[in-house]
Every structure is written in C-alpha cells, then in structure tokens.
Structure 1
Amino acid sequence: MDQVFDVVIIGGGVVGCSQVFTLSRHGYKCLLLEKEAHLVSMASSGNSGMLHTGFDAPLDSVELSCILKCQQQILPTLSSLGLPYSKIGATMVAWNTQQKEKLHQVMHRAKEDACEISLSQLYQREPHLACGATGALWIPSEAVIDPWLTPISFAHHAKTLGAKVSTSTMVQSCEQDSPGIWRICTNRGVFCGQVVINSAGLYGDVVDKLAGVQKFRIMPRMGQYLVYGSETKSLINSSILPIPTDKTKGVIVFKSVYNNVIIGPTQEETEQRTIPFGLSQQVVNTLLNHGHVTVPSLGSYPVITTYSGTRPATETKDYHVVPHTDRNWLTLGGIRSTGLSSCLGVADMVAKIMKDRFCLEPTNSPNMHLPKVDIFFTNQGTAMLGSQEYTVTHPITYTGKFDKKVCANL
C-alpha cells in the first residue's frame, strides 16, 4: 500500500475497534489489521457482555481509571448509535458469615458505587433467589450490552469516517524505517504508518516481540458459560454476583441484553490461546450446580447452548499501556475480562498519548457526530450495518437474535 496512515492498529477485538472508532473521530487516518476472517473473533468473542463499574479493580490502577472514564460515556454513545443496553444493576450476595465480612470490604472499596441492602430488600428484589443469604450489596450502575454489535458498530462508524479495515491479515514482521515510518509486513502486503498500536489481545506479546519491545507475557485464562432461553428472564432482576477473589469476580448468574440467563464464567489457566470448542461434562455440571444453588428455579429449564472465552491475562493484574516514544509504538496488553467495560476509557487515554507522547497531529478534522446505525440481522447469521455485511461471532448475539432453541458453539 503506497499511503502512510497516521495510525496502524493491530488487532480487531473490542479494544482495537474502540481505538479505530475514537481516533478516527479525532481526525486520525487509521488502518485496522485483524488476522482472523472477521472482527471480534478471538478473546472478544467469548466475553460476558457485562459493563462493570470497577468495584473490584485495583485501586490507582490503569484498569480502574479506564473503566471509570468509559462509564461516563459508553451508555450515551450506545444511545446515540441506537445500540441496545440494559442498566440492570447487580446484586452481590454473601452466603455465610465469612463472605458477609468480605462484603463490607467490597463496599468500602466501591464507595458510592455500592450500598448495603437488608435481607428483606434482597428477597423483595430477587424473589427466586435461594434461601440462606447472609448479606447483600446493591450495585446500581452495572449494565449489559451486546458484546458483538457494540465493537462492530464502532469499527463500522470509523469506516464511514475513512478508516480502513483489513481482515484475514496476519502481521509477519514490523520494521521501522529511518524517517520513523513503520512498515508492517503481512500475508496481504505491506502497510505503513507513523504510529503502531498493538491491541492484539491473546497474541499481544507475540506482536510486541516482532517490534522488539516485549515487556510482558500472555498467560491465557479460560472462562466457560451456560446459556438458557429467554423464557428464564423473570427468574432474576439483576446480575447475581458472588464475593470476588483476588483473581476473579467468580461465577455470575446474569441476563444478557436479549434476556437469556447465563451462568459463568469459570476461571481456568490454560496454555491454549485459541477459543476452545465445547465444554466438558464436568464443567457443565459445575455451572449447573452453581445456577441451581443460586436460583433453584433454573433447574426447571434446559440449557440451550454453551460457549467459552479465553482472556489475555498476564503475570500482573493491571493493564499494560506502554508508549515506546522512541519507537512510535504503543502497547495495549493484558486487557482482560474488563476490556468491554473499559474500552472507550482506554481509547481516550490512547488519544491523549498520540498528542502528548508521540506529538502526532491528525491528518483530518475531528468529526464527533454519531448518527444512529441502520442495523438489520439476516437469516444467515450476519448483520447488515448500512450496506455492509458482518458475520456474527459472539454467541450472546447469535443466540439472542437467531436461535431460540439450540445454538451451536461459534
């Protein structure tokens, strides 16, 4: 390609799509490269679709800062684009004395994001919840969105502003010419840009190594889910959270934006970076038991599908947002299960880094207008956004929009 882009973004998941969306609106001439045939195909195709408030994120972390920034703007952005969301709230439930003590620790950290409710209030809010709870917190700002349509709409809007998106494009090498222009060699040719953003998710450490700047190692963490039909929607009125641990929020019983009750995710360390197909019977039984113990009425309904996701965890809890100013290379690594909750906050941070650290001015004028997206879901498992067709890659969207009975893993 003979043109030089202001920014080349490697990786077309939630984080990459958010970058091209925000930077294009600021006027940067952007190119997004994705190695898979479709956007939102790897880690981002297996998340929960939940927007978390950051109540359990490390204090003073990049993660928490990005979640809080995203919280301020994502729902208004979804409204402007005409995308679905439900501010369902979350209820964190303690089931014994020890968990109740930890509940107060969570409330202290969450500050104004959570408030304690009485057991009578708990069972008024959640009448189908199992008996025996010892305490509960109400977290009103937790929400659910469409985890596929949101990033796809971000990328689609960027394209209307002139951004280029190239799928089935595997990055093979990264070289910087003496004038400071990056040459990104791929299986589909060479692409050039002034600044490169690595948002390659599960392969973030691999891409950083191509540029000679690797500072972290991906340690994949798998999460698995069960999905019920939308006839279960009346069984819960909010997302039912367990007490979080240092490593995970735990297994949640929640509703998708399409009213499918979902149980998950598990947390399993793995060496596998690809998305696994199918759940073992042991995992299914574990999740079924959690659902039935938490909301006993779920036992009367069949599971209509299962799915898995693999998170790009690293050896540290916080995100790796590392601008290599001497190289014009920006690493966005280790953005794990909260990537959807923080995506626009990360993008805002990146836009600031472009000017303050890389001194990169946009080629075009800013365009902050957000017209509603014209969306039509076809019968072939695709969606038309305007005149462009996109393949649905997330089971939550697929199940909610297409298959009400039995949905194959995607």
Structure 2
Amino acid sequence: MPELAVKSNCYDVAIVGGGVVGCAVARRLTLDGARVVLIEKGADILSGASKANSALLHTGFDAPAGSLELQCMQAGYAEYLAIRAELNLPLLETGGMVIAWNEEQLSKLDGILAQAHGNGVGDAVLVDGAAVAAREPHLAPSLGAVLVPGEHVIDPWSAPLAYLTQAVVNGAEFLRSTEVIGGRFADDEWALDTSSGPLRARFVVNCAGLFGDRLEASLLGDAHFSIKPRKGQFLVFDKMAAKLMRTIILPVPTERTKGVVLARTAFGNVLVGPTAEEQDDRVHARTDEATLEILHDAAVAMIPELADVPVNAIYAGLRPASEQKHYRIRREDGRQFLTLGGIRSTGLTAALGLAQFAAGELRAMGLEISALAEPVVKPMPNISEMAPRDWQAENHGTIICHCELVTEREIAATFDTAVPPGDLGGLKRRTRACMGRCQGFYCSANVARLSEGRLDPPMAAAS
C-alpha cells in the first residue's frame, strides 16, 4: 500500500466522516490546538446525509428533556449565533409555528408549550387561530399554534464549509476520496488503513453518519448501534412562493417523525418536506412521483396559493436513524475512540455543540491540547439572498447561471480556496450554479468548461 503524504507522523485526532458533524469537530479540535485530519470517502464534504436537509436552526424546544441532543442543540445554536458574523454565515429570522389544523392536534399544543418552557425556550407562546392568520395571511385557517420566535433558517452548505475551512487554514488536513478500511490500536495510537495509504493518530472520532455502525464494528470489533436509513423527500417551490409566508410552519409531531415542514430557504425559495421512509439502501435516496404529489398536496393544503407556483426542484436525502431515537455515543477510553452516531435531523443545529462535547470527551480520555492564541478566521462568500451577492457588484463580469445569478468569477474563485469543491455536488453547494429553474440546462456547458480537470467525476461523466 502506498505511503500517504501527510503533514504529521502521528495526528492527535483522526475524524472519520466529512458531514456537518465531522466538519464541526475538525474546527473545534483544531482551534483547541489538536493536530487533526478529517477523512472523507466521498469526493467532497457533505457527500452523505448532510447534503440534504431542511436547513433549520432549531432552539431545541421539542427535544427530549435533559438529553444530550438538547444540550448539543442549544450549545450549537448559541455558538452559531456567536460566530456567524465573523464567518459571514446568514441567518433568516423567521420564527416557527407548530400549527394545529384539527382538534386532536390542538389538544397537544399545551404539552408542546410546556416542553418548550421546560427546555428553556421561555419565549414560546400559545396563539389562537386569529393570531396565526394575522401573522400568516396566506395560510389556510387553523385552530391555533405554538409560536417559537427563535426558530430560524440558515444556509446548510456554507456553515459546514466554513467550519472545515477554518480548521484547514489553522493547520488541519482534509483527505477526500479516502475510505478507512481497517485499523489497529496499540502502543497508545491507532494505525489506520485507508484507501489512500496508512496513517497514525492517537484518537479516532467516528462521525461516519450512515456508515457509523460499520466503521465502529470494523475498528472495535463490534457496533453498539445499527443504522436504519430513513429517507426524506423534498419539493422546492419557485422564488415567487417566498412572498406567501415568513414563518416556518411546523407540524404537531408524531411518535415516528417530526413531520412535514414548510419553510422559506436562504436562497429565496420555499421547501416542503421531509417524508420519513425506512429503507435498507444507505447510499441512494430516490424520489418518486406519488410521494412528491403527496408533499405538493400537503403544501397546497397549508398555503392554497402554492397551487399556482411551479416547482423548481425535487430532492431526497437519507438520515442516519438507528434503532433508538437518541444520539448514539460510545466512548472507549482504553482504545481512545469516540463515536458520535445516530445524529438525525437535528445535526445541522447540534453540530457545533457536538463538537464541544467531543472535545470534552477527548480531554477526559487524555488528549492534552492548548487552544490557538490567534486563530485565522476565513469568512465565506455569500450565496444567500440575505446579503449582496457578486452579480450585484460593479464589474461582476459574465453571469454563467442566470437562474441563480452566479458569476464566472464566483465559480473560478471557489477552486482557489482552502477547501475547493471535489465534485459537481460540491460546486453546486458552494455557488448555486445549476440549481435554479432550468436545473443546469442552459449553464451546464459553461460550468463544465470552467471546472474542466477539477472535479471527480468530471461533469460530462456526472450528468
């Protein structure tokens, strides 16, 4: 097996999995002074579960009381608000309403409010149907809601990119297209076998998402949990839909799922989803027409005027659910191994909090590190609709993607960054190119030209 070109003979921590949690952990540990390598088997970050979500920043109002999930969500929420300005991360302050559409749902609102207050979300209030209509005049009549002012919308792609970028510019290493295929712990360190060659690290953090149980079994000999992939399908309405709502519309949850959400996006659209469909396949999340029709009907039932708004995009993602609802954490002191598993729909919010938790657990296991005195801060380019974008600047040059107003220099610039895109999905998530009404029909040839020789697979093979 070839030797791997690495910056360190032995890292302090090897993090396996480049989703939002892995990126957040890489940032936290690097800023805390650890020598970190993030290993991702995909060609880019967010190649698994993290690439498809509802992009909500949650208060934790409905999280299990006293749970690690609640702790991490609220810590992550607070840290996001604290760092978003310096990292140039957007926040669409919408608030959220858990809507009761029938008497059965109405009977549950008092319990939802009590849980919110018990979780420390003291500004949550009960409002009647008239107050709901006054706040959301395009909404179908309802019986009432729990209003949670702190529920917001963020850019779900720039945030994890910012986390990993800050890690890399402060000394972390990112290995993409690299799979961990085995490993041994001996003499106070891990010897990991990867598809790119061997590497050594004192500690391993398992953030492998949909494959977290398999990685645990491979390295430790057994897994303490089993991933049960849960597919979620989404519909994205055209930008004209955004004028029809301002608040995140949340359902009264069931035992099985939080239910279908209707929300604006950071990019000026409105999305509805996700579904909750069990499947065995851990890689492919396919959409189907019948389910998408159900989603469309659900959105129109909530906002009837959406019936006249075209759908721009459809997508599906997989959540790394397990046989139990709570986060699946395993700490092996004797083998210096930590699993952060079963991180489902709250992972985008909880990621920074989970990173704080992981840093504490590693210190308790013996990791001795000192925080960087003056860490480098690298703001992200804005791709949201909440701040000026490149096409609005003077001398912006050629616009390549007219649906999403992406300039040529934005696409070129993303390849000259600390964490450039590795595949077409990564390029889309960094620029919004090929993600508008035409889904790349008009701009893909020029995007392929600008990205020639830089993506794996190249656009011609990916399309």
TM-score band w.r.t. shorter chain: over 0.9
Give the Cα separation in 2 of the matches to 1:269 and 1:395: 29
Task: Report the equivalent of 2:414.
Answer: 384
Q: Structure 1 residues 382, 282: CA separation in 2 closer, same or farther (over 3 Å shift)?
A: farther
Name the counterpart of 2:130: 120
- Asked whether 1:217 is paired with 2:215, we answer no
Confirm or deny: 8 A CA contact 1:146 1:397 kept in the other structure.
no
**Counterpart selection for 1:171 from 180, 183, 189:** 180
Q: Give me the whole-angstrom Cα distance separating, in 1, the residues matched to 2:82 and 2:415.
A: 20
For 2:266, the equivalent position in structure 1 comes to 257
Secondary structure in 1 matching 2:322: coil
| Partner SS for 1:393 | helix
- Would you say the 8 A contact 2:224–2:330 is kept in 1? no
- 2:350 paired with 1:342: yes
Whole-Å separation in 1 of the counterparts to 2:412 and 2:431: 12
Identity among equivalent pairs (%): 34
Q: Distance in 2 between matches of 1:171 and 1:198?
A: 11
Q: Who is 1:194 aligned against?
A: 202
Look up the SS of the partner of 1:372 in the other structure. coil
Residue-pair matches, total: 406
- Whether 2:23 is the aligned partner of 1:17: answer yes
Call closer, same or farther: CA 1:368–1:351 in 2, change over 3 Å: farther
CA contact (8 A) 1:27 1:366 kept: no
Q: Compared with structure 1, are the counterparts of its residues 374 and 46 closer, same or farther at alpha carbon in structure 2 (3 Å cutoff)?
A: closer
Query: For residue 321 of structure 1, what is the amino acid of its counterpart?
Result: I
Between stretches 69-78 and 35-44, larger displacement belongs to 69-78
Distance, in Å, in 1 between the alignment partners of 2:30 and 2:277 is 37
Match of 2:235 in 1: 226
Mapped to 1, the partners of 2:266 and 2:377 lie a distance apart of 22
Q: 1:84 to 1:186 in 2, by over 3 A?
A: same
Match of 2:80 among 49, 74, 82: 74
Contact 2:226–2:323 (8 Å) recurs in 1: yes
1:405 aligns with 2:414: no
Query: How many angstroms does 1:393 deviate by?
Result: 3.1
- Contact map agreement 2:165 2:378 (CA 8 A) in 1: no
For residue 425 of structure 2, give the secondary structure of its aligned residue in structure 1.
coil
- The secondary structure found in structure 1 opposite 2:137 is coil
Structure 1 61/5 Cα, relative in aligned 2: closer, same or farther at 3 Å?
Answer: same
Number of the residue aligned with 1:28: 34
Report the CA distance between 1:75 and its aligned residue. Answer: 1.8
Which amino acid letter does the alignment assign opposite residue 417 of structure 2? S
Write the letter of the residue equivalent to 2:49: A
Deviates more, 1:241-250 or 1:302-311: 241-250
Between 1 and 2, higher relative CO (CA 8 Å, sep ≥ 6) is seen in 1
- For 1:403 and 1:270, locate their aligned partners in 2 and report how far apart those are by CA, in whole Å: 27
| CA-CA distance at 1:15 after TM superposition | 0.4
> 1:227, 1:406 → 2: CA distance?
13
Is the alpha carbon distance of 1:392 and 1:82 closer, same or farther for their aligned partners in structure 2, counting shifts above 3 Å? farther
Provide the residue aligned with 1:46 in structure 2. 52
Q: Distance in 2 between matches of 1:315 and 1:214?
A: 12
Instruction: Please state whether the residue corresponding to 1:23 is helix, strand or coil.
Output: helix
What 5-or-longer segments of structure 1 have no aligned partner?
A: none
Once residues 316 and 427 of structure 2 are traced to their aligned partners in structure 1, the CA distance between those partners, rounded to angstroms, is 9
Q: Is the 1:307–1:395 contact (alpha carbons within 8 Å) kept by the matching residues of 2?
A: no
One-letter identity of the residue aligned with 2:368: E
Structure-to-structure mapping, 1:320-335, within 5 angstroms: 320-335=328-343
1:144 alignment partner AA: V
Aligned to 2:162: 153
TM-score normalised to the size of structure 1?
0.93
Aligned in 2, Cα 1:349/1:367: closer, same or farther, shift over 3 Å? farther
- Report the CA distance between 1:329 and its aligned residue: 0.3
In the alignment, structure 1 residue 292 sits paired with structure 2 residue 324: no
Unaligned runs of 5+ in 2: 383-389, 391-405, 441-461
For the residues of structure 2 that align with 1:150 and 1:218, how far apart are their CA atoms? Answer: 25
Range that drifts further, 393-402 or 135-144: 393-402
CA shift digits 1:208-233 (9 cap, x unpaired): 01112410000110000000121111
Measured in 2, the distance between the counterparts of 1:210 and 1:100 equals: 48
Taking structure 2 as the reference length, what is the TM-score of the superposition? 0.83
Q: Which residue of 1 aligns with 2:380?
A: 373
Would you say the 8 A contact 1:374–1:385 is kept in 2? no
Residue type of the alignment partner of 1:387? T
Displacement after TM superposition at 1:113 (Å): 4.7
More strand as a share of residues:
1
Say if 1:46 and 1:395, in contact at 8 Å, map to a contact too: no
User: Which residue, 177, 190, 193 being the options, matches 1:182?
Assistant: 190
Match of 1:4 among 6, 10, 15: 10
Q: CA deviation at 1:397?
A: 4.5
1:80 counterpart SS class: helix
- More displaced stretch, 208-217 vs 30-39: 208-217
Structure 1 CA distance, aligned partners of 2:211 and 2:96? 32
Equivalence for 1:352: 360
Superposed CA offset, 1:18-41 (max 9, x none): 000111011111000000011111
Give the corresponding residue for 1:311.
319
2: CA distance between counterparts of 1:243 and 1:36? 36
The SS at the match of 2:267 is coil
Q: CA deviation at 1:87?
A: 1.9
SS of match in other structure, 1:60 = coil
Please report how far the alpha carbon of residue 392 of structure 1 lies from its aligned counterpart in structure 2 after TM superposition. 6.3
Map 1:85-124 to 2 at 5 A.
Answer: 85-111=91-117, 112-124=122-134
Q: Spell out, residue by residue over 1:244-285, the C-alpha distance to the aligned partner (whole angstroms, 9 max, x if none).
A: 1122210011011112100100000110111324x2110111
Misfit runs of 4+, over 6 Å: 380-383
Going from structure 1 to structure 2, the CA distance change for 1:45 and 1:156 (only over 3 Å counts) comes to: same
In structure 1, C-alpha distance between the alignment counterparts of 2:43 and 2:110, rounded to whole Å: 46
Root mean square deviation, CA, Å: 2.3
**How far apart, in 2, do the equivalents of 1:145 and 1:68 lie?**
15
Distance 2:433 2:184 in 1: 43
Cα distance in 1 between the residues matched to 2:246 and 2:240: 13
